[in-house]
Amino acid sequence: MVLPAWLAHPTIIEGGSLKPELAEGEVDAAAIKAQPFLEKHIRSALKQLKIKRLFPVQRAVIPWILEAQNKPEPFRPRDICVSAPTGSGKTLAFAIPIVQLLAQRVECKVRALVVLPVAELALQVYKVFSALCSQTELEVCLLSKQQRLEDEQQKLLELYKGVYYSKVDIVVTTPGRLVDHLHATKGFSLKSLQFLVIDEADRIMDAVFQNWLYHLDEHVRSTADQLLAGVQAPLCYQQLLQSYGQQPHKLLFSATLSQDPEKLQNLKLFQPKLFTTLDAAQTAAAAAETALDEEEEPSGQFIGKYTTPAELVEQHCLTEVRLKPLTLFALVQQNGWKRFLCFTNSTDTADRLCFVLKQLFEDSPIKVEQLSAKCSAAQRAQRLNEFARGSIQGLICSDALARGIDVANVDIVISYEAARHIKTYIHRVGRTARAGQAGTAITLLTEKDQAQFKQMLNAAGKRMGEELSVSPDIEVQHAVLYKRALEALRQRQENQKNVQKVQKMRNSRKAAAHKPAPAAAAPAGQLTLMEQLQHNAASQLWSKQHSKAAKPTKAAQPKQQTQVKSRRQNMEK
Ligand SMILES: Nc1ncnc2c1ncn2[C@@H]1O[C@H](COP(=O)(O)OP(=O)(O)OP(=O)(O)O)[C@@H](O)[C@H]1O
């Protein structure tokens, strides 16, 4: 594959370690007070966030965006793609310049749109924006299906004398929720959009999400046409507007950025520019590359595509399929791990593994819980909180959590099953060694997995780390405990099968009666005890959810309404 020139010749982000050791008396060039481009309100917000210095990606990207945006029209800044390791601080790299630029002029319009693949990530980025905006008049809004559409619409817009006014300046959302609002929210306008941020860009460019871009583009295009209809400007200016006038400045971020020209083309990037970080081996390769003839067509992957944090130690542990849960148990015990995330390739494996581990750790202070698509969003949030507080030591996750989530103080990431794709591996291991902290990633490998795993790493320019071993006697040592745990698992699976059978019978009985009566109306006397328990639990859950949904949360509304009112009055003046 031949790379386009902008991917082949990136701007290298200098800086190496996130926590460099400074010699005595040496001035820290990355200290916040040494950054002349940061406004006072940003410095003070960073102080509250306990951020004392900028990370390399932030030092490279923030001043570049500020400078590009400060050039007068009709200059249009180049769109940028930023590829930097997990945990290297990409969120602040786009949030700081956006807040600083938007705060210069407050208007009742959505001027920045930040799109993330899943609700949890959107919430995380929303919190960062909210913290940065705390010293400004800017309002940030989260649209992510965690609230009803009507409640989100209320947060977003206000109708005054027949005209819709935006209550917010920055919207953080997911692709699906954005499309919901583009279709269903009257008055939702992005015609003043100045920034479009796509975080975890490679994931968002995947086929499933493609049509959100189409809808957004259509929306921006149609508002540009409406605008042009009323413009009495010279033809050349109209042409300029038509060609790119209404397109926002696009900022793409990821730890594993796509280099697929077709996917990138969908984003219609304007003279794109790539920023990338390199590790030591890649820096040497880049130096050799620049020695080559500049005219030569570059090929293959862009350098720095798969870098992991400098502080990350990668290891593997050889085991057998039948002993995998026991190997994991022994590793945790042997090494005294207190904060570990363990990834599996499927939700079912996460579920079974978590059950077996709970049995194995029954008499120990180690508490493990599952964190997968099987848990509700509220459950996931609660478990993450408990993990952060230290009341849960291990979380057994499917890959839903592998990307972007910033879980505090994870010491160890274990791949219970080897990741099938390098991107999955990079994002999994990136849950540790974040923000310059130390961290270790361990992959459990059977003999069969080994060659494939090695090949995957080599293809990405990485090498297998050291081998970590467990005592060969684990099977004998824990024979009784392990047997009991596996027997409990077998019993549980049998029970689950029985419950499913009962459920199936019940459904077919209902279908036969041709009367799909609501569950709440079913006469209790005709149900078996098991059915009755399930029925009661379902009814309770249903009424709980519906009574919650019926109560719109208005806690923050009065304050926001007054602010918007005064902003609107200012505008009218
Ligand atoms: N300059 C800084 N100083 C100290 N901590 C920082 C700094 N910048 C970011 N952080 C912290 O580093 C952690 C990781 O940041 P962030 O989530 O932005 O990383 P990321 O590069 O987006 O990672 P991923 O690719 O996994 O999403 C966060 O906890 C954040 O608060």
DSSP class of residue 33 equals G
CA–CA separation, 101 and 487 (whole Å): 61
Q: What's the CATH architecture for 5-20+29-292?
A: 3-Layer(aba) Sandwich (3.40)
Q: Report the pLDDT value the prediction gives residue 244, as an integer from 0 to 100.
A: 44
CA distances from 524 to 145, 146, 435, 503, 527 (A): 35, 34, 56, 15, 6
Q: What is the CATH number of domain 312-493?
A: 3.40.50.300
Structure tokens at 203: 């994931």
Q: Report the pLDDT value the prediction gives residue 556, as an integer from 0 to 100.
A: 43
Q: Where in the chain is the domain with CATH 3.40.50.300?
A: 5-20+29-292, 312-493
CA–CA separation, 240 and 13 (whole Å): 33
**Is the pLDDT higher at 313 or at 25?**
313
How far is ligand 1, taken at its centre, from the CA of residue 30, in Å?
A: 15
Nearest CA to ligand 1 atom 3: 51
What is the percentage of the chain residues whose pLDDT exceeds 70? 79
Residues 280 and 461 sit within 8 Å (Cβ to Cβ):
no
Residue 565 has pLDDT above 70, yes or no: no
Nearest CA to ligand 1 atom 14: 87
Nearest to 96 by CA among 122, 48, 68, 61: 61
Q: What value of ipTM does the predicted structure carry?
A: 0.99
Lowest-pLDDT range of 233-237, 273-277, 345-349:
233-237
Ligand 1 atom with the smallest distance to the CA of 30 is 1
Mutation test of ligand 1: which of 17, 51, 132, 275 has the most ligand atoms closer than 8 Å to its C-beta? 51
Number of other residues whose CB lies within 10 A of the CB of residue 303: 25
| CB 435 less than 6 A from any atom of ligand 1 | yes
DSSP string, 393-446: -EEEE-GGGTSS---TT--EEEESS--SSHHHHHHHHTTSS-TT--EEEEEEE-
Residue 285 has pLDDT above 90, yes or no: no
- The predicted-structure confidence for 137-169, as pLDDT tens digits, reads as follows 999 999 998 889 999 999 999 998 989 999 999
Residue 57 has pLDDT above 80, yes or no: yes
pTM attached to this predicted model: 0.81
